[in-house]
Amino acid sequence: MLLLTRSDIEKIFTMKDAIEADKQAFSLFSQGRSEVPIRTQIPAPKANGTFLFMPSYVPDMDVAALKVVNIFPGNIDKGIPSSPAQVLLIDGNTGVVSAVLDGTYVTQLRTGAASGTAFDLLATREAKIGALIGTGGQAATQLEAMLAVRNLSEVRVYDLNAERTKNFAENMNEKLSSYGAKIYAVASSDDAVDNADMIVTVTPSSKPVFDATKVKKGATLSCVGAYQHHMQEMDPVILTRASKIYFDSKEAVLSESGDILIPLEEGLITEDDFTGDIGDLILGKIIGRESDDEIIVFETVGIGTQDLVTAKYIYDKAIAAGAGYTWE
Ligand SMILES: NC(=O)c1ccc[n+]([C@@H]2O[C@H](COP(=O)([O-])OP(=O)(O)OC[C@H]3O[C@@H](n4cnc5c(N)ncnc54)[C@H](O)[C@@H]3O)[C@@H](O)[C@H]2O)c1
């Protein structure tokens, strides 16, 4: 069994690799070629946390996977990830666990890559300005995904915690300098979204984190954080301004995300406003952006197929490179 730490993975696997893996995952998912039972959630009220178990199986790839990812929002103040996780990769022919990967990093990669996939397929070609709202554990890969798919000149980042925002912008200017974009910490979400072509929201907020009237025509949004019914980071007005609304999985989004469930229940939108799953866009079954003026929204809650395909792509590269530690 191969053990792969974050630093093992960082040496062999890029954001562009992660975006390729997610595209494959969304395509397999939309063709019904992955088995992804709805994840099991067990609340841990004592610690204000949730245990999540995400199984998946792709017969075509002879691989199954189980991600154990536990959401403990209080961890951020203890200096440890708020979604600690491991991914078990399982040989589909023998049932033997072939690898254990740092699931926190696999999650960050595949979640960033979901936004990267949406922006690659849906953002305007000439997009220049990015906005990132939320600078917690998932933020770095969201930022890198934006930079990996468009030639941005600047990205504005905003978080309720000003100190975290400033440190994040400083670190990212250094870490992602090869992309040539300037990363600015800004003082409000209005400053972040003003004139932005690509917008990511990645917070656990239960109330909208930006003002939809400030979003310019032609913008593409990826909303990542709302995974429970009461959670809502998207200003629902954006859904009435958007001409297209995509999901990683409509079924998964409608089973858990307040970003879409609340405006549906309030009658602000109906299911007729939904364009479809991004996998169907990749397969050419549904339409993409048709003009530079359209506002387009992508909502993602994450599907197990992303973890499986990402982990398998990492594993294959690790075997080829002789990376990681083999536990006999
Ligand atoms: N879609 C997916 O596949 C997926 C995967 C992993 C995590 N998530 C979700 O994404 C969200 C963010 O995850 P994380 O690990 O980065 O969380 P985190 O706790 O590490 O960081 C969240 C950040 O959001 C900030 N924030 C909260 N409310 C805000 C507001 N109104 N405006 C601006 N900033 C605000 C906090 O100050 C914090 O810095 C969580 O809800 C998590 O469950 C989604």
CA of 135 to the centre of ligand 1 (A): 8
- pLDDT bucket at 83, cuts 50 / 70 / 90: confident
Residue located nearest, by CA, to atom 10 of ligand 1: 225
| Domains, in order of start, for the chain | 2-106+305-326 (3.30.1780.10), 122-302 (3.40.50.720)
- The yes-or-no verdict on residue 68 having pLDDT over 90 is yes
CA neighbor of 53 nearest in space, from 44, 45, 173: 44
For residues 130 and 253, what is the distance between their CA atoms, to the nearest angstrom? 24
CA of 150 to the centre of ligand 1 (A): 23
Kindly write down the DSSP assignment for every residue of 241-272, as one continuous string: H-SEEEES-HHHHHHH-HHHHHHHHTTS--GG
Q: Which atom of ligand 1 is nearest to the CA of 231?
A: 41
- The yes-or-no verdict on residue 295 having pLDDT over 90 is yes
End-to-end CA distance of the chain: 7
- The yes-or-no verdict on residue 286 having pLDDT over 90 is yes
Residue located nearest, by CA, to atom 28 of ligand 1: 205
Which pLDDT belongs to residue 259? Answer: 97
- The yes-or-no verdict on residue 81 having pLDDT over 90 is no
CA of 96 to the centre of ligand 1 (A): 34
Catalytic residue among 23, 67, 244, 250: 67
Q: Which atom of ligand 1 is nearest to the CA of 135?
A: 39
Q: What integer is the mean pLDDT of 40-49?
A: 94
Q: Where are the alpha helices (DSSP H) in 125-193?
A: 139-149, 162-175, 189-193
- The yes-or-no verdict on residue 38 having pLDDT over 90 is no
Helix (H, G, I), strand (E, B) or coil at 160: coil
Sequence-distant (6+) residues with CB within 8 A of 174 are none
Active site annotation includes 67 = yes
Which pLDDT belongs to residue 302? Answer: 93
Which pLDDT belongs to residue 218? Answer: 98
* Model confidence pLDDT, tens digit, residues 120-148: 999 999 999 999 999 999 999 999 999 99
296-299 β-sheet, strand order: 182-185, 154-158, 129-133, 198-201, 220-223, 296-299, 244-247, 276-277
Ligand 1 mutation pick, 56, 157, 202, 249, max ligand atoms within 8 A of CB? 202
- pLDDT bucket at 80, cuts 50 / 70 / 90: confident
Q: Which residues line ligand 1 (CB under 6 A)?
A: 71, 73, 76, 82-83, 107, 111, 133-139, 158-161, 164, 202-205, 209, 224-225, 227, 300-302
Ligand 1 mutation pick, 50, 138, 234, max ligand atoms within 8 A of CB? 138
Q: What integer is the mean pLDDT of 201-223?
A: 98
Which pLDDT belongs to residue 216? Answer: 98
Q: What integer is the mean pLDDT of 76-81?
A: 86
* Model confidence pLDDT, tens digit, residues 150-204: 999 999 999 999 999 999 999 999 999 999 999 999 999 999 999 999 999 999 9
CA of 326 to the centre of ligand 1 (A): 34
CA of 88 to the centre of ligand 1 (A): 24
Q: What integer is the mean pLDDT of 109-120?
A: 98
For residues 85 and 162, what is the distance between their CA atoms, to the nearest angstrom? 27
CA of 48 to the centre of ligand 1 (A): 15
Q: What integer is the mean pLDDT of 110-116?
A: 98
Residue located nearest, by CA, to atom 43 of ligand 1: 225
Computed over every residue of the chain, the mean pLDDT equals: 96
- The yes-or-no verdict on residue 328 having pLDDT over 90 is no
For residues 28 and 64, what is the distance between their CA atoms, to the nearest angstrom? 14
Which pLDDT belongs to residue 195? Answer: 97
Q: What integer is the mean pLDDT of 109-115?
A: 98
For residues 27 and 34, what is the distance between their CA atoms, to the nearest angstrom? 10
Residue located nearest, by CA, to atom 44 of ligand 1: 225
- pLDDT bucket at 320, cuts 50 / 70 / 90: very high
Helix (H, G, I), strand (E, B) or coil at 287: coil
- Within 10 A of 62 (CB to CB), how many other CB atoms are there? 13
* Model confidence pLDDT, tens digit, residues 251-273: 999 998 999 999 999 999 999 99
Is 4 in contact with 100 (CB distance < 8 Å)? yes
Residue located nearest, by CA, to atom 21 of ligand 1: 136
Which pLDDT belongs to residue 240? Answer: 97
Which pLDDT belongs to residue 82? Answer: 83
